[in-house]
């Protein structure tokens, strides 16, 4: 049995990563699309053999409730639109996958979780890396401390974005590097410690003010964890960087990249290599999430996990704006 997935929003990530991955999945397939652009609907219909009855636009989207071909709605829109489409999908009685960052605010995330709970549908966040055994190897070191307690995490995620007019540069659409790449830096710190930060000190900056007028281009943030572990995190739309370094009492582990599409890899101070090969991250993520739905078991990355990040993201913005340490 395969679950039918409908992708909502046919931009870069749906086009270049998710649709190709859905040609490799075992537990699900690309059953439908939701798009506001008729020419995209035509192109996808031909390329992926999608029947007309499974093609929706943003106006008639709610009729998806009556379509038994669609089991899961995957929201791949700019972050400010996630809440609306997750809630509408839940009301239509469909399970929901939602891309990261879950939403611009904690209030949005809570409303999304509530809507899915009341409709008794599952909500998964598209943190593909948590399905990656290389990231899981780092997570394991927090739970089975081979090198002792975590002392210091250094976590970076960024790329040079040459675009000059995109939602990532617009506040109203949920732009800003913190939600986009910053959540990978934050995930690195949260997953490596296995803890939730208790306070944050952050600094936002921009080197291209003509492009990054409304949102930050770079965010640096320092986190304190209950065990005493600390993290120094960096994220930027102006710098290519992607790595995680974890210093423990008696050793270290590192990954570079830590959130790449084509294999995260690294090593540990005792010589252990972290080099698990996986065929396709997005296919693994969607298969595992669909398997959880089919089995009625817990999702690896439920809405609550997306919310945990956004709680910290809100505190980071508050700290950057006030110049003060913010308790979480």
Helix (H, G, I), strand (E, B) or coil at 99: coil
Q: Which stretch binds ligand NAD (CB under 6 A): 6-14, 157-165, 214-222, 246-254?
A: 6-14
Q: Which is nearer to ligand NAD, 213 or 324 (CB)?
A: 213
What does the alpha-carbon distance between residue 116 and residue 95 come to, in Å, rounded to a whole number? 8
Q: Which of 33, 173, 186, 310 binds ligand NAD (CB under 6 A)?
A: 173
Whether the CB-CB separation of 249 and 260 falls below 8 Å is answered with no
Examine residue 115 and tell whether it contacts ligand NAD (CB under 6 A).
no
Examine residue 72 and tell whether it contacts ligand NAD (CB under 6 A).
no
Query: Distances in Å between the alpha carbon of 85 and those of 54, 143, 222?
Result: 17, 36, 33
Cis before 291? omega within 30: no
What lies within 8 Å, CB to CB, of 145 at 6+ separation is 248
Q: Which of 71, 99, 161, 216 binds ligand NAD (CB under 6 A)?
A: 99
Examine residue 176 and tell whether it contacts ligand NAD (CB under 6 A).
no
DSSP 8-state class, residue 322:
H
Q: Which is nearer to ligand NAD, 103 or 274 (CB)?
A: 103
Q: Which of 9, 32, 188, 306 binds ligand NAD (CB under 6 A)?
A: 9
Active site residues per annotation: 100, 184
Nearest to 141 by CA among 194, 74, 181, 62: 194
Examine residue 10 and tell whether it contacts ligand NAD (CB under 6 A).
yes
Q: Which is nearer to ligand NAD, 146 or 304 (CB)?
A: 304
Nearest to 138 by CA among 124, 155, 126: 155
Q: In angstroms, what is the minimal distance from the CB of 227 to ligand NAD?
A: 29
Note the residues at the interface with ligand NAD (CB under 6 A).
9-13, 36, 76-79, 99-100, 126, 128, 167, 173, 180
């Amino acid at each position: 049995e395969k679950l039918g997935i409908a992708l909502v929003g046919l931009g870069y990530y749906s086009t270049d990563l998710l649709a190709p991955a859905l040609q490799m999945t075992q537990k699900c397939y690309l059953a439908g699309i939701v798009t506001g652009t008729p020419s995209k609907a035509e192109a996808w219909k031909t390329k992926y053999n999608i029947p007309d009855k499974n093609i929706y636009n943003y106006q008639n989207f709610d009729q998806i409730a009556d379509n038994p071909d669609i089991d899961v709605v995957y929201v791949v829109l700019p972050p400010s639109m996630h809440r609306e489409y997750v809630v509408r999908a839940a009301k239509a009685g469909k399970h929901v996958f939602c891309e990261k960052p879950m939403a611009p605010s904690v209030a949005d995330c809570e409303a999304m979780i509530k809507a899915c709970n009341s409709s008794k549908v599952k909500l998964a966040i598209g943190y593909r890396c948590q399905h990656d055994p290389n990231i899981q190897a780092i997570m394991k070191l927090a739970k089975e401390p081979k090198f002792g307690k975590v002392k210091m995490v250094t976590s970076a995620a960024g790329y040079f974005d040459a675009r000059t007019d995109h939602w990532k540069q617009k506040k109203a659409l949920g732009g800003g590097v913190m939600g986009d790449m910053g959540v990978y830096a934050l995930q690195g710190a949260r997953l490596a410690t296995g803890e939730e930060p208790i306070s944050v000190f952050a600094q936002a900056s921009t080197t291209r003010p003509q492009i990054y007028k409304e949102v930050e281009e770079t965010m640096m943030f320092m986190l304190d964890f209950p065990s005493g572990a600390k993290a120094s995190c960096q994220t930027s739309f102006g710098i290519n960087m992607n790595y995680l370094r974890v210093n423990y009492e008696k050793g270290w582990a590192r990954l570079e990249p830590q959130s790449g599409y084509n294999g995260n890899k690294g090593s540990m101070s005792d010589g252990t290599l972290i080099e698990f090969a996986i065929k396709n991250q997005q296919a693994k993520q969607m298969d595992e999430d669909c398997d959880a739905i089919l089995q009625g078991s817990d999702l690896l990355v439920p809405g609550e996990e997306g919310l945990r990040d956004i709680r910290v993201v809100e505190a980071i913005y508050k700290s950057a704006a006030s110049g003060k340490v913010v308790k979480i």
